[in-house]
Each structure stands twice: as C-alpha cells, then as structure tokens.
Structure 1
Amino acid sequence: MSESKTILVTGGSGLVGKAIEELVTSQKRENEKWIFLNSKDGNLCDIVQTKKLFEKYKPTHVIHLAAKVGGLFDNMSNNLDFLKDNLHINDNVLQTSFESGVKKVVSCLSTCIFPDKTSYPIDESMVHNGPPHTSNYGYSYAKRMVDVMNKAYNQQYGCQFTSVIPCNVFGPNDNFNLKSGHVIPALIRKFFDEIQAGGTSFTVFGSGKPVRQFIYSRDLAKLFLWVLYEYNEIEPIILAVDESDEVTIKEVAEEILKAYNCNSTLLFDTSKADGQYKKTASNSKLRKYLPDFEFTPFSKAVKESVDWYCKNHEIARN
C-alpha cells in the first residue's frame, strides 16, 4: 500500500492549480487527499494566517503556486509590490512547511528570473548569473530567492524543498484581464471583445517580434505530478517545450485569430514596449528524465484555450 499523502496546493484556483485539479480528479490515486487553496481561504502574506491553514489541513506535501503575478505593463508599474508580496508569501509557505514537518515542497518559479544579458539557451545553472530584465525585476528577484531558500533549508535541515521553472504558461482558467493578464490570455480576451464589437482589424502592443516558448497548462500539470512523485533533486528543473517550438508574438496573435476563424488584419503598435526580446530555455535536463514526453501542439492548445474562453467568458477572470 502506498504512503498516505495530504497534498496542499497554494494558488489552487489559478491557471496551473485548476489544471492540476482537473488531472488528479480524472486519475484518482489511492491514499491521497488534495486540498486546493485560493486567496479567500487565507492571506499567505500573513504568517499567522499561513500557519492556521497548515494547522487545519496538516499537509504532508505542498505544491506552491501562490504568487502575486501580472503581465508586462503591470510589472513595470508595480515592481515594489511584486517584490514585497512574493517575498512574504514564499518565506511564509516554506517556513511553515518546515515547522509543520512537510515532507516535500515543489514551488513554481518562472523563466523571467534568468539574467537579461545572457547566452542562449538558458539552463538551470544560470539563474543567478546576472540581473533580470528591468521590466519585472521585483517579481524575478523574489522568485529567485525561493531557489536560495530551498538550498538553505536542505543544507541546514535536510528539507526536500525544490522548484520548477516553467516557460510561459497558458490554457483554460487563465487570467484574461487586459491589464494584468499575460500575452496569450490578454490577446484571446482582446480579440474576443473586438470580434463581438464587429471589428475588422486587431492591434497588438509592441512589434510582434519577441519570441517565447509557451507550455499548455494541462501539459504542465502532468509534469508537476511527475516532479512531486519522482523528481528528487533540490536543484530546480526547467519545464519547457523544445527550443524548436519557440514562436514570435506575431505568430501567437495569428494563431489566436485562426482559432477564432478570423482572417482580419493584424496591426502592431510599436510605440508600446516589447519587454524582453527572448528568454529561450533549454529543456535538456527534463528530456534526460522524460525523453518521450509529448507536448500538446501549440495550435491545438491555443484552439482549446480560445474555445474554453468563448464558452466561459462570463465567468472567466476578466
């Protein structure tokens, strides 16, 4: 009989949390209890509230997704808030996990933590090799500190605290807010609104030239479970699609319009910032563990995300 687990997921109502919940509901495992927390359950910036949540649920394992997150322009305007809130959240979750005897914590980082000036592709050894991009340095530095704390907790107390570094995530249950949402959900929402209004041309902020790797939330959920069950390193691991799957923002916008069956003109407002031009990540470490893992084709994932929003736009996070 497998060991009994109580798995607490912070940020459980968000994009990745919902994808994990969908996955574990479809393939229930024996002797596991899953708790998906959201911000209404308690404020993880508050250590007292954090401890009360752990006392209530008594987790043996934690998937730590909770964070203050936002899109490019939100980060540019509020770097201090992103720094302070995420430092508090991460410190409280890891400290309380240690004090509560949690056996394993898997925290979620982001490829934006890597240095802005670097060689490509980036890999796990390069996290602390230089300053991150100035547009989101607050969020990036706070997330970097999770890696530092994981290593310190392991060195001093033997804790099995680790982290994953996904590339840009998208999918159903995303944040479709035009200000705080990331590029794919923001464009899905923007184009939906403009199509409903009878628009014949669609404007994308920036040049459309920056390139990104995007991972579908349902693929990331599968990889999170693998990390929870099988990955035993303290060092972080990049969870990203192959480098050959990198796309430009222009290609993203075109794919979204295609999913809407829309052939209208795309325009690019070059007066708006592009942000970091590229942050190509190597998934060679992941491929050593899982050489045959199949990612959902980008066009299929975009289509499923657009279809989900069309059906759920009234209740989606807008």
Structure 2
Amino acid sequence: MASVVVTGGTGLIGKAIEHVINTEPVGSKFGKLPDETWIFVGSSEADLRDPEETRKLYEKYKPTHIIHLAALVGGVYRNMKYKLTFLRDNILINDNILHTAYTHKTAKVLSCLSTCIFPDDVVYPLDETKLHSGPPHESNFGYAHAKRLVDVQNRAYKEEFGCNFIAAIPTSVFGPHDNYDLENAHVIPALVHRCYLAKKNGTPFVVGGSGKPLRQFIFSYDLARCFIWMLRNHDDVEPVILSVSEEEEMSVKEIADAIVKAVGFEGQYSFDATRSDGQFRKPASNKRLLELMGGFEFTPFEEALDLSVKWFSENYETARTGNTT
C-alpha cells in the first residue's frame, strides 16, 4: 500500500494538492489511487531542520513517496535581511528530507524549487538547461542557492545510490490558502488584500510601481495536478518547469485591473510610480512540461482569480493576513 507524505502540507501548494486529491475521481489522471494514503504534514508536527524529528516523522508515517514542499520562505526584504538564515535553514530541511528518504528506502521524492533560483543574467525564456548557468539575483541569495542544491543532491543520490529523487520548478503561484500578509505576500495576494481593505474601509487602492512589469502565474489547483502527474509518471532527474506559456505573461496593471473587478472595488485606484518595479520580466518556457504531459488545460486566469478572491473574502478572519486589520 502506497503512503504519500506531503511536507509543507498546510501551505498554498499543499492545500491545493489536498483539494485535488479529495475532489478528483479515485483512479483518474489526477485523482487518488485506490490503495493510497495521503498525509499532509505542517511545521507544527516536525521541525525538519532537526534530523531526529525528521527521522521520527518518517518512522511514524513510513512514506513510500514524498512531495517535499516545506521551506523557509519570505518576501524580498526578509530574503535580503536574513541571507544566512534562509540559506542554512533550507539546506538543513532539504538535506534531512533527502537523506532520511535514502536511509528509509523511500521509493520517490518530488521536491519543489522555484524560478527565482535561475541566474539573474540569462537569455529568456528560462528553461531547464539554464538553472546553473550563472548566479541568482542577489536578493534571493540564500534561498536560491539552498534550492539549487536540491537539484545537485538529486543528481548525486541518483548517481551514487540510484535514488528516484526529482524536482519541479513552478513559476509564481496563487490560489486559496495563499499568504496574504502584506509584509511578505507575493504580488497577487498582496494586491488582493490591499484592494479588499480599500473596499472595506472606503480608502484608495494604490498599487506600488508603474504597473508595467510582466509576470507569469500558475493557479495552485493547476500546479497541484502537475505535481500529482509528476509523482505518478516522471522519473527523470532533470527538473521540470511548471508554468503557463510565455504568451500568457500579464502586466501588473492587467493583474490589478482584474483584481479590482474580482473584488468589486469602485473607489479611487492609482499606481505609485515612485516605488520600485523590481525585475521587469522573467518569462519561463513550459515547452518541456507540455511535451511530457501531452498537453494540459490551464484554468483561465480570471476564473482562477475569482475563486481565489472568493476564498479570501469568505475566510478573511482565519487567512494568513499578518497583523493588519
């Protein structure tokens, strides 16, 4: 009987995988198999920086398969301030998961990386061959190097011990159960929260920056289906970018316009061009993903955004919003 443990199981992607596993028909392409047990583990259950706690977690659940999502994550300012903390904590988490999977003969580990680990100076679009072709952006120094090491470790474990350790590289993710803390949230949840508060309080909705930068986003439920597919069907140590196509890049203004519509905000709405835009664009290719899967139907952006905003509005009191009221 298969036992799938999802680390970071209470976060955005973990909750999306749980939703898909619980709603797709049993035995279907993205559904639970009849002989499977799925366990979603949060940080309260084990400190994965500690090898002994990691070992006890493995011995408790005896996973045959792992989807490894757990990580120390944060916004750009936290990443810049705590470079060593992000580097060391994530190295410890990843090393403990992979080494304990090896010692406990886990059949497969699928780890989650991020497109922010790609080189800063690179020819676009990003693709899987460019992962180690230069240093990452300085703002992601600690996190990016720790996550890159997962790919290095996967290859070393496979070469030396034959382990089936693989990795996925998602672009920016959004959806229900996102982190809406205004100090640390990514662009979509941050703008959704700001727009929600502007509507609630009758204040202007101000978007930082010019609105011109371009971004790719993948809906968390779509990403969950891709993870489940990879767990079932993909055994190549070469990582796979999980993303919508380059042609689906959207400007921050287009995203903000869609959020205004989804929230139903009718007040004053403007952009503060004195604030930094950050990186203008960092498009990634999903060519390899579509070749491997034989195509995939992504949820239309506005439909996915409506679902996300609806969840946030209905769960505002318990969502991850930080201390803002």
Task: Report the TM-score, using the length of structure 2 for normalisation.
Answer: 0.94
What do the CA deviations read for 1:209-237 (whole angstroms, capped 9, x no partner)? 22111000000011101000001111100
Q: Check the 8 A contact 1:71/1:182 in 2, yes or no.
A: yes
What do the CA deviations read for 1:269-288 (whole angstroms, capped 9, x no partner)? 33433332221000110111
Q: Give me the whole-angstrom Cα distance separating, in 1, the residues matched to 2:279 and 2:153.
A: 27
Q: Give me the whole-angstrom Cα distance separating, in 1, the residues matched to 2:59 and 2:125.
A: 42
* Same amino acid, percent of matched pairs: 50
Matched, 1:220 2:228: no
Which letter maps to 1:15? Answer: L
Equivalent residue, structure 2, for 1:251: 254
Q: Check the 8 A contact 2:202/2:267 in 1, yes or no.
A: no
Matched, 1:299 2:302: yes
Q: Give me the whole-angstrom Cα distance separating, in 1, the residues matched to 2:166 and 2:51.
A: 21
What do the CA deviations read for 1:123-162 (whole angstroms, capped 9, x no partner)? 0000001111111121111111100000000000000000
Equivalent residue, structure 2, for 1:64: 68
Equivalent residue, structure 2, for 1:5: 2
Equivalent residue, structure 1, for 2:29: none
Q: Check the 8 A contact 1:120/1:279 in 2, yes or no.
A: yes
What do the CA deviations read for 1:148-181 (whole angstroms, capped 9, x no partner)? 0000000000000000000100000111101111
Change over 3 Å in CA distance of 1:266–1:291 after alignment to 2: farther
Matched, 1:19 2:23: no
Equivalent residue, structure 1, for 2:124: 120
Aligned positions, number: 314
The 5 A counterparts of 1:174-213 are 174-199=178-203, 201-213=204-216
Equivalent residue, structure 2, for 1:237: 240
Equivalent residue, structure 2, for 1:173: 177
What do the CA deviations read for 1:244-263 (whole angstroms, capped 9, x no partner)? 11111221111111101224
Matched, 1:51 2:55: yes
Candidates 97, 101, 124, aligned match of 1:97 = 101
What do the CA deviations read for 1:50-90 (whole angstroms, capped 9, x no partner)? 11100111100000000111222332332222111111111
Unaligned runs of 5+ in 2: 27-32
Query: Residue 121 of structure 1 aligns to a residue in which SS?
Result: coil
Equivalent residue, structure 2, for 1:87: 91
Query: Residue 44 of structure 1 aligns to a residue in which SS?
Result: coil
What do the CA deviations read for 1:159-204 (whole angstroms, capped 9, x no partner)? 00000000100000111101111111111111111211111x2112
The 5 A counterparts of 1:106-185 are 106-185=110-189
